[in-house]
Amino acid sequence: MTQASSAVVEMRGLSLLRGNRVILDDIDLRLEAGQSLAVVGPSGAGKTTILRLLAGLEMPSAGELHLFGRRQDYLRLDQHLPPDVRLVSQNPALLGSLSVLHNVGFLLYRGGLLSDKEIKERVARCLEAVGLAGTEDLMPAELSGGMQKRVSFARAMIDDPAADSANPLLLFDEPTAGLDPVASTRIEDLMVTTTRLSRGTSVVVSHVLSTIERSAEQVVLLYDGKLRWQGSVEAFRCSDNPYVVQFRTASLVGPMQPQEL
């Protein structure tokens, strides 16, 4: 029997096919507790598929995926099952019929392990951390887009006693896409704060260089379903790997061919 890894994330020879199309091809990747990883590459490279696999929304066609030392062999879909994986998508995905309090504390109310007072205290701490203290009774429709995004970060950092791990895996999907530089900086700071306060491990998918450099310690570059480069953020800044150079400089010249528009 293969012994499970003690890393938070470990992919071993992982591949994913959709029909005859290869989405991911023989991926080996390891992420230790407390580390932060940026997954980069052009559109269609397989980046979001990595997040979907980690979130339990898809399963690999070949190879193994281990989270928190346990092999994953089921889809999680709408169930909140261990391990503790939290996805922050581009869309805040708040429930319009619920207040900020119930959106942020949704899993705690459903778990039934805490009193109303304890849940409100935990939600209040998270809202204060994202600069939204006192907004518990507001509805999503009463919030700006930026405020809704911050509520989604508060929801990601909530401490869930029903979770199997005290150190969650946080997944951020293009969190600063379409934002101006000032708004991007605020979101990048929130990503760092959310990961630190939740004592978590993070994976961010992004095309934005400032987001990559401010929110991650390690970088992997995907192209055509394969890992073409991996290393530290410092090495990413100066690497002469042709894939990294082309991505950093946004050049049309290099091994990565632009998709047809």
- Confirm or reject CATH 3.40.50.300 for domain 1-82+203-255, answering yes or no: yes
Beta bridge pairs of residue 222: 227
pLDDT at 199: 84
pLDDT in tens for each of the 261 residues of the chain?
444 457 999 999 999 999 889 999 999 999 999 999 999 998 888 899 999 999 888 899 999 999 988 888 776 554 445 568 888 887 888 999 999 999 999 888 876 788 999 999 999 999 998 889 999 999 999 998 888 988 988 888 887 776 655 688 999 998 887 778 887 888 888 888 888 887 889 999 998 888 999 999 999 999 999 999 999 999 999 999 999 999 999 998 999 987 654
CA distance 244 to 248: 6
**Residue (of 10, 14, 32) closest to 23 by Cα position:** 14
* pTM of the predicted model over 0.75: yes
Let me know: does 182 contact 5? Beta carbons within 8 Å: no
CA distance 50 to 71: 16
- Axis-axis angle for helices 145-157, 181-197 (nearest 10): 20
For residue 191, give both structure tokens.
Answer: 């990503």
CA 19, 10, 190, 183 torsion: positive or negative?
Answer: negative
Let me know: does 127 contact 155? Beta carbons within 8 Å: no
